[in-house]
Amino acid sequence: MNYLSKFLYVISARKIELLLILFAFLTISVLDALGIGLVGPFIGLAVNPAMIHQNELLSKTYSFLGINSTNQFIGLLGLTIIIIFYFKSYLYYQVQRYVFRFCFTQQVKLRLRLLRTYLSLPYTFHLRTNSAHLVQNIINESQNFSYSVAIPLLNSIANAFVLFVLLLLLAKTDLVATVSILGLLVITFIPFHLVRHRIVRWGKEGVDANTEMLRIVNHAVGGLKETRVIGCESYFEAQLATQVNNFARVATLFHIFQMLPRIVIESLLITFVVGLVSISLIFEQRSQNLVSVLGIFAIASIRLLPSASQLMSNMGVLRNFKPTLDKIYFDLKELEKPESVRYIQLTRGKVRGTTGKEFSNQSGLNTSVIPFAKKITIDRLSYRYPDAPFNALSDISLTIRKGESIALIGKSGAGKTTLVDVLLGLLIPQSGDIQVDGSSVYGSLRSWQNLIGYIPQSIFLIDDTIERNIAFGVPDHLIDRQKVEKAIKSAQLVELMQQLPDGLQTVVGEHGVRLSGGQRQRIGIARALYHEREILVLDEATSALDNETENLISEAIKQLSGTKTMIIIAHRLTTVEHCDRIYAMEKGRVVKCGSYQEIVLGEKSANALRA
């Protein structure tokens, strides 16, 4: 029941669809039993036609049809049985076709649901989760869910129905023999039940090996330059070989185990049929109806054998892929955690902000922005990472007026990046507030984020054209070419566009590998300008560049001074010389505030005097 409840949580189908599938399975099982149940009487009639007149139903049917020949009647009965079997087979085909379409539709929906979930979860979830885990779940585990959870589960239910109805039929035919078959099936099931935990362990080891393989390949190929220069190809090959061997070992164990039910059940059923004949002949109690009973049991065994073996095999598959179901289930459940609920509510603007003003966002895509005319106020902001012993930020307060440029400086670990992540709306502070012209951004976090353009040290570029990288996230038919040209000019990319044969249609390669660091940074600036963000956050945007390139980027940034509000994190203090105000941070607190001359030059003079 626990397994089933998780399955129903993960699947996106309406319950009526599942009920229709179950009803179809039951109908097929009844038709199966009806067809098989008629085989015994048919064989009995073929051997002894006089039985037609001994059975009231058959006698009335015979008289109603007005057939003079018993052979014709028996032939007509055989034709009826054939039609029932063909109808059952056609219905079975249609139901299986529907089941496969249903399961693969669920796979599509699950992939979309997982992606939507991961994109909706708080930033802290992504800080503690490897991207290989997310890719593995969206691509591989969703496929495993369809192939190895949904289809086997539905087939198990279908086979269980078939077994149940057939056993009822056999019990009606011969109770003692049916109890014997049931006993054999139970005896067969016991050893498989005893090793169920081992099957689950094999499944978990297989899932873990797959995730590790993806992670190792990402590391080896993602850092190809470093891998080749250092010459550590063999290191990654050895890591991958370990995981491949682990996967091969557990996959072999599981698939060998999967073969055993069919082999064992087949042997037991043959033993039963031959034993039934032998016992009947020895005691001669069933010799009169032995042919009919054997006919029913023989045909039923042909249907029982695959149903029983498939049921046990499917149960093994379901146990083996329980870790897959658990991974998907628990990741989807992340949305229900208090931290996630609060973050999603804030992002969608469905809760009351700290100022008491309420915002709402009715559309699926919120393109609105908070009105920004005067200033941004950060009021006594504090933040602590989950499970961390100390605050990363403590009682931060500062004011940024529209059009101003401010800089955050300090040693590594001072809290600069954490403060920027809070400003970006990625982290939600435990206390304090961010206000725009007196209105809390936490009344409509998405509207606040629509004000901000983010330019990190390492710009994320997709393996696509420069145009699509600048208009990041905008469909081709909605790209505004005039805005692209304007952004290129402001980011000082005009000369680069003239040098490239394909201009804006130049493909930049994975992570922008075909461009220099400075070119990537300027595309990042152009991206922020294209989306017309009022506030630009530059997180060490020039620290990895050479002096000449840094000067070009700094020049592009200076040209934006006064027109854009800028928040700059920098290690190189020369890059913040033009800023209106500088905040020095230490251990999550602002320890100094002033102009470049007061903070940087004043500290240099003090150090010179001390020396």
Higher pLDDT, 197 or 537: 537
Q: How confident is the model at residue 383 (pLDDT cuts 50, 70, 90)?
A: very high
pTM check: above 0.75: no
Q: What is the pLDDT of residue 7?
A: 87
Section 8-21 average pLDDT: 81
**What is the rounded distance in angstroms from the CA atom of residue 71 to the CA atom of residue 45?**
9
**What is the rounded distance in angstroms from the CA atom of residue 331 to the CA atom of residue 208?**
15
Q: What is the pLDDT of residue 350?
A: 46
Q: What is the pLDDT of residue 551?
A: 66
Q: Smallest Cα–Cα separation from 34: which of 178, 169, 163?
A: 169
Task: Please give the order of strands across the beta sheet that includes 375-383.
Answer: 393-401, 375-383, 431-436, 439-440
Q: What is the DSSP string of 317-343?
A: HHHHTHHHHHHHHHHHHGGGSHHHHHH
What are the angstrom distances between the C-alpha of 402 and each of 68, 503, 531, 535, 562? 104, 35, 18, 9, 8
What is the CATH number assigned to the segment(s) 2-336?
1.20.1560.10
Residue 425 tokens, joined = 């709306």
Region label for 463, one of left (φ > 0), alpha (ψ between -120 and 50) or beta (otherwise):
beta
Contact between 67 and 76 under an 8 Å Cβ cutoff? The reply is yes
Q: For residue 446, is pLDDT > 80?
A: yes
Q: What is the pLDDT of residue 361?
A: 36
Q: What is the crossing angle of helices 70-120 and 56-65, to 10°?
A: 110
Q: For residue 318, is pLDDT > 50?
A: yes
Residues of the chain with CATH 1.20.1560.10: 2-336
**What is the rounded distance in angstroms from the CA atom of residue 341 to the CA atom of residue 475?**
30
Q: What is the crossing angle of helices 233-283 and 290-320, to 10°?
A: 160
Q: For residue 543, is pLDDT > 80?
A: no
92 CB-contact burial (10 Å; exposed 0-12 / middle 13-18 / buried 19+)? middle
Section 166-189 average pLDDT: 72
Low-confidence winner among 97-101, 113-117, 118-122, 602-606 (lowest mean pLDDT): 602-606
Q: What is the pLDDT of residue 363?
A: 32
Q: How confident is the model at residue 289 (pLDDT cuts 50, 70, 90)?
A: low
> What whole-number percentage of the chain has pLDDT above 70?
81
Q: For residue 356, is pLDDT > 50?
A: no
Low-confidence winner among 63-72, 95-104, 584-593 (lowest mean pLDDT): 63-72
Residues of the chain with CATH 3.40.50.300: 374-451+571-611
List Cβ neighbours of 564 (8 Å cut-off, separation of 6 or more). 403, 533, 534, 535, 536
Q: How confident is the model at residue 353 (pLDDT cuts 50, 70, 90)?
A: very low
Q: Which range, 13-22, 303-312, 478-487, 510-519, is most confident?
A: 478-487
Q: For residue 386, is pLDDT > 70?
A: yes
**What is the rounded distance in angstroms from the CA atom of residue 296 to the CA atom of residue 275?**
15
pLDDT per residue as tens digits for the range 365-381: 456 788 888 889 999 99
Phi, psi of 493 (to 5 degrees): -110, 5
Helix (H, G, I), strand (E, B) or coil at 84: helix
Q: What is the pLDDT of residue 357?
A: 34
Low-confidence winner among 333-337, 361-365, 559-563 (lowest mean pLDDT): 361-365
Q: What is the pLDDT of residue 351?
A: 39
What is the CATH number assigned to the segment(s) 374-451+571-611?
3.40.50.300
